[in-house]
Chains A and B, each alone.
Chain A
């Protein structure tokens, strides 16, 4: 269906090609997952299929890509629109019209299909994706998962033979991601659509893939093969695969179900061991405990417009604690973080930073607040205004009243290989996050808040972030992170707070909260249930210690 013939892509100023030597065929009706670390050219490769690379993005394409017999060199993206459907990471950037029904019809209108065909296909697609109740809704009012389903539906109505998806579930909470993946699987099974998908969160998608296309490093030759075989070579891998490698299972399991069936032996071996407490594990919920609380929230309610975003929330954060805030999209996680930095005024209840004599965030001047609490927002770009890293650092020093060079020193620790002259927008997703983190840390706030820090990060970047945040917590900082990433929460947090509809529905040590709910349980916990092991790291440490002891 898709044929890559010695394809390489070079962008204007790049010395090395972004993608090199891709020579393979994707057969009809397969779900192919493209994996690899950040910056290896996954998006570029996907772009060549829809013709956006090079027609839209520029750059030079060597070799040939044919989709259903059409050469993308001779066909512009609009002439491929009836064969290839493309959905990006941000559905809002994809929407052209303003209501769900119009959005589904837009592609067909462009192709000039007759009105009765359009009507029939819109109804079919509404049913296929479970969108019938939303047909008249403005697209801007949908939740993240609904938006992504509408975006997929909007390219399905033209009956494309190939569907290209770039990180379709990155922005979604676990339940919404399941929703989208179920739809994709249905398309592959029922309609024989060929799906080409790139995704960082492998733990969500790898089990659905028929084949995996691995781009191991920039410029390296890609590997296409059976998921289990490719995962054995891959530098990026989900916890289930990592656990499988640790235990030496072959072939490697890809889903929790496969792994559970093999895990009997491992569970027995682990039976005598205890999940290690302390830094690698969330076992000790009462660990930090001491000291004056850094933030106290009591029976807080916040209204935004006509909606009550938070209702009677209580939360106390003490030094050295790491708390994960979880819950579905729109549960109030971001609102809670933003209220802690004084962006919203509480409708009822109180927020206090730094003990009984502390400050009330929304009444504190920003310059004073800076030294008490720092927030890295969902999009780190919001914090970055200057046009070079050096200027950004100088600005941060001025804002915080810190010694000149403080911020730059932090940047050097977090990001060893970044030049002063780089534009913040040219950094990768992970580097930008690190820069924003350095900017916030310049004022040395004891309380650090992060909103969805792992969006768009690959496993390596996530691991670096985990290391940095652990070190901060050991230094006595308190870290609160709002996240959909259950693996990150398991790795990092000792305490998990789950919000639903603006209310706290669970608050406790992560080993208890997270394992009690299938939606929020990390893969390791699911495999090794009922024992409370949360991360592969814990298991590895425990096994090593046991090995030494024996």
Chain B
């Protein structure tokens, strides 16, 4: 896993709290790869990007609950691909293909529905086009999944400005609730068996909806009580003038951003669009900064943005930039035309650039070995999501 390098100092260290990679770096890396994926429909290149994320995730993810999400994202990506193909088969494809694979019975539609087709010819060109298109979307999803598995959402929250902390906290709490909810569904579905009812199928899941929601509600009330009792939402006293200025700046700024964006996008008004947008942005940022004075929070050991974080984020940015550039230079290689049918070719230098995305697998700190947490009975409750003590509110 670690590169064989003569200089021991350059080898990736064992991850601890103090050298942990900044969560933002992982996200930048993943967004770089996702940008690359958005600029190509070449299946070989897309597959390469997926492989790169998979390798990095396998090499650097921890054993934490959020780190198990990569597999789920892979499944969602597969579903996206299947749905895209389904539409291409049943609703036809705009691609004027000539290689007819088979013909489905076509549903006759009235005149006003011209241009819509249900059933009919299915061409190989149409399928290939849909496959590539779906694969592009799927790859972008997988990139997001990789960031999710590698970076702790709570750590990312720590990098938010103080005024946004409470909103961000709500998001993180919601995210940690999802696994609990899934565990609840599993447990209650299993419990149906004890009542002599079937525990398989969609019906069984639907029947337990209400108890699951009740349980989730109880848990959120308990969590809210705990957070309140531990001082969440304590605010410093701020003079009323500052409070009003904050509100005015934030609201005015957001209005400015809206007006500016409209100006930029509308046919006329491009002249005032940009300045208004910038002004609005500045006002909103000022509001955020002022709003931060109300918060009394301090931060415990925030992640530092060190050399390794630079390397990781730069590798993602490099992949993104290279593929964007390649898309301009080699349009045929990166977005091969569906007609006529040809086997895709691997463009060499863009592929080499994508491989640069592997850098984190060598420079990011190595997480503690997983066997350590597997040993002994201590972790056993952790292995089974509805752990013994989890269920009671």
Which stretch of B33-41, B119-127, B380-388 is in the interface? B380-388
CB neighbours of A106 from chain B (8 A): 230
Q: A118-B298, A138-B64, A331-B377 are in contact. Are A343 and B195 (CB under 8 A)?
A: no
CB neighbours of A90 from chain B (8 A): 222, 389-390, 392-393
Interface centre among B188, B197, B381, B383 (most CB of A within 10 A): B381
Q: Which of A478-526 contact B (CB under 8 A)?
A: 500-501
The one of A96, A341, A456 that contacts B194, using a Cβ cutoff of 8 Å: A341
Whether A110 lies near B381 (C-beta < 8 A) is no
Whether A383 lies near B191 (C-beta < 8 A) is yes
Whether A383 lies near B234 (C-beta < 8 A) is no
Whether B231 lies near A81 (C-beta < 8 A) is yes
CB neighbours of B378 from chain A (8 A): 142-143, 146, 330
Number of A-B contacts (CB under 8 A): 236
B269 at the interface (CB under 8 A from A): no
Q: A86-B229, A111-B234 are in contact. Are A343 and B377 (CB under 8 A)?
A: no
A141 at the interface (CB under 8 A from B): yes
Whether A144 lies near B388 (C-beta < 8 A) is yes
CB neighbours of A365 from chain B (8 A): 198
CB neighbours of B195 from chain A (8 A): 366, 370, 383, 395-396, 399, 439
B374 at the interface (CB under 8 A from A): yes
A34 to B: closest C-beta gap in Å: 18
Q: A96-B223, A119-B301, A383-B195 are in contact. Are A77 and B228 (CB under 8 A)?
A: yes
CB neighbours of B64 from chain A (8 A): 98-99, 138
Closest to A331 in B: B377
CB neighbours of A301 from chain B (8 A): none
A113–B236 Cα distance when bound, in Å, is 13
B379 at the interface (CB under 8 A from A): yes
Whether B381 lies near A138 (C-beta < 8 A) is no
A92 at the interface (CB under 8 A from B): yes
B41 to A: closest C-beta gap in Å: 38
Q: A78-B234, A90-B392, A440-B194 are in contact. Are A385 and B229 (CB under 8 A)?
A: no
CB neighbours of B16 from chain A (8 A): 136
**Contact mask for chain A residues 144-186; partner B; CB cutoff 8 A; 1 contact, 0 none:** 1011000000110010000000000001000000000000000
The one of B173, B190, B382 that contacts A141, using a Cβ cutoff of 8 Å: B382
B71 at the interface (CB under 8 A from A): no
CB neighbours of B226 from chain A (8 A): 86, 88, 93-96
Closest to A111 in B: B231
The one of A107, A144, A379, A425 that contacts B381, using a Cβ cutoff of 8 Å: A144
A382–B211 Cα distance when bound, in Å, is 8
A152–B82 Cα distance when bound, in Å, is 49
**Contact mask for chain A residues 121-154; partner B; CB cutoff 8 A; 1 contact, 0 none:** 0100000000000011110111110110000001
B214 at the interface (CB under 8 A from A): yes
A431 at the interface (CB under 8 A from B): no
Whether A112 lies near B211 (C-beta < 8 A) is no
Interface centre among B198, B222, B231 (most CB of A within 10 A): B231
Q: Which of B166-200 contact A (CB under 8 A)?
A: 173, 176, 187-188, 190-199
Whether A144 lies near B389 (C-beta < 8 A) is yes
A404 to B: closest C-beta gap in Å: 16
B297 at the interface (CB under 8 A from A): yes
CB neighbours of A107 from chain B (8 A): 230-231
Q: Which of A370-406 contact B (CB under 8 A)?
A: 370, 374-375, 377-379, 381-385, 395-396, 399-400
Interface centre among B211, B219, B381, B388 (most CB of A within 10 A): B388
Whether B377 lies near A501 (C-beta < 8 A) is yes
A549 at the interface (CB under 8 A from B): no
Whether B231 lies near A52 (C-beta < 8 A) is no
Closest to B381 in A: A330
Interface centre among A80, A82, A143 (most CB of B within 10 A): A143
A55–B188 Cα distance when bound, in Å, is 33
CB neighbours of A79 from chain B (8 A): 234
Whether A343 lies near B219 (C-beta < 8 A) is no
Whether A307 lies near B383 (C-beta < 8 A) is yes
Whether A108 lies near B377 (C-beta < 8 A) is no
A111–B299 Cα distance when bound, in Å, is 10
A261 at the interface (CB under 8 A from B): no
B227 at the interface (CB under 8 A from A): yes
Q: Interface residue tally of chain B, by bracket?
A: 35 or more
A305 at the interface (CB under 8 A from B): yes
CB neighbours of A330 from chain B (8 A): 377-378, 380-381, 388
CB neighbours of A84 from chain B (8 A): 229
Closest to B232 in A: A110
Whether B234 lies near A366 (C-beta < 8 A) is no
The one of A77, A98, A443 that contacts B229, using a Cβ cutoff of 8 Å: A77
Number of interface residues of A (CB under 8 A): 99
Whether B368 lies near A136 (C-beta < 8 A) is yes
A109 at the interface (CB under 8 A from B): yes
Closest to B377 in A: A330
CB neighbours of A147 from chain B (8 A): 389
Whether A140 lies near B377 (C-beta < 8 A) is no
The one of A115, A155, A456 that contacts B300, using a Cβ cutoff of 8 Å: A115
CB neighbours of A111 from chain B (8 A): 231, 234, 296
A328 at the interface (CB under 8 A from B): yes
Q: Which of B280-304 contact A (CB under 8 A)?
A: 296-301
Whether A378 lies near B388 (C-beta < 8 A) is yes
Q: A330-B377, A383-B194 are in contact. Are A115 and B298 (CB under 8 A)?
A: yes
B373 at the interface (CB under 8 A from A): yes
**Contact mask for chain A residues 224-267; partner B; CB cutoff 8 A; 1 contact, 0 none:** 00000000000000000000000000000000000000000000
The one of B196, B199, B381 that contacts A143, using a Cβ cutoff of 8 Å: B381
A175 to B: closest C-beta gap in Å: 12
The one of A99, A110, A382, A400 that contacts B230, using a Cβ cutoff of 8 Å: A110
CB neighbours of A309 from chain B (8 A): 380
A369 at the interface (CB under 8 A from B): yes
Q: A101-B17, A106-B230 are in contact. Are A378 and B377 (CB under 8 A)?
A: no
Q: A105-B300, A138-B64 are in contact. Are A375 and B194 (CB under 8 A)?
A: yes
Closest to B374 in A: A306
A511 to B: closest C-beta gap in Å: 27
A63 to B: closest C-beta gap in Å: 21
Closest to A91 in B: B389
Whether A140 lies near B65 (C-beta < 8 A) is yes
B266 at the interface (CB under 8 A from A): no
A207–B241 Cα distance when bound, in Å, is 57
Q: A110-B297, A144-B388, A366-B197 are in contact. Are A98 and B66 (CB under 8 A)?
A: yes
A111–B295 Cα distance when bound, in Å, is 10
Interface centre among B154, B190, B225, B391 (most CB of A within 10 A): B225
A60 at the interface (CB under 8 A from B): no
CB neighbours of B380 from chain A (8 A): 143, 307, 309, 330
CB neighbours of A56 from chain B (8 A): 224-225, 228
A102 at the interface (CB under 8 A from B): yes
Interface centre among B225, B226, B229, B381 (most CB of A within 10 A): B229
B208 at the interface (CB under 8 A from A): yes
A342 at the interface (CB under 8 A from B): yes
Whether B193 lies near A342 (C-beta < 8 A) is yes
CB neighbours of A99 from chain B (8 A): 64, 152, 154
B207 at the interface (CB under 8 A from A): yes
A304 at the interface (CB under 8 A from B): yes
A538 at the interface (CB under 8 A from B): no
CB neighbours of B374 from chain A (8 A): 306-307
Sorted nearest first, the 3 A-B pairs with minimum C-beta distance are A141-B382, A81-B231, A110-B231
Offer 23 A-B interface pairs, CB within 8 angstroms, sorted by A. Answer: A80-B229, A93-B223, A97-B154, A101-B17, A105-B301, A107-B231, A109-B297, A114-B298, A118-B300, A135-B17, A140-B382, A143-B378, A144-B389, A146-B378, A304-B383, A304-B384, A307-B383, A329-B389, A330-B381, A366-B199, A377-B194, A456-B392, A501-B376
Given contacts A56-B224, A78-B232, A379-B392, 15 further A-B contacts (CB under 8 A): A52-B225, A78-B234, A81-B230, A88-B222, A90-B390, A90-B392, A96-B223, A105-B301, A108-B298, A110-B233, A112-B236, A112-B297, A115-B300, A370-B196, A382-B187
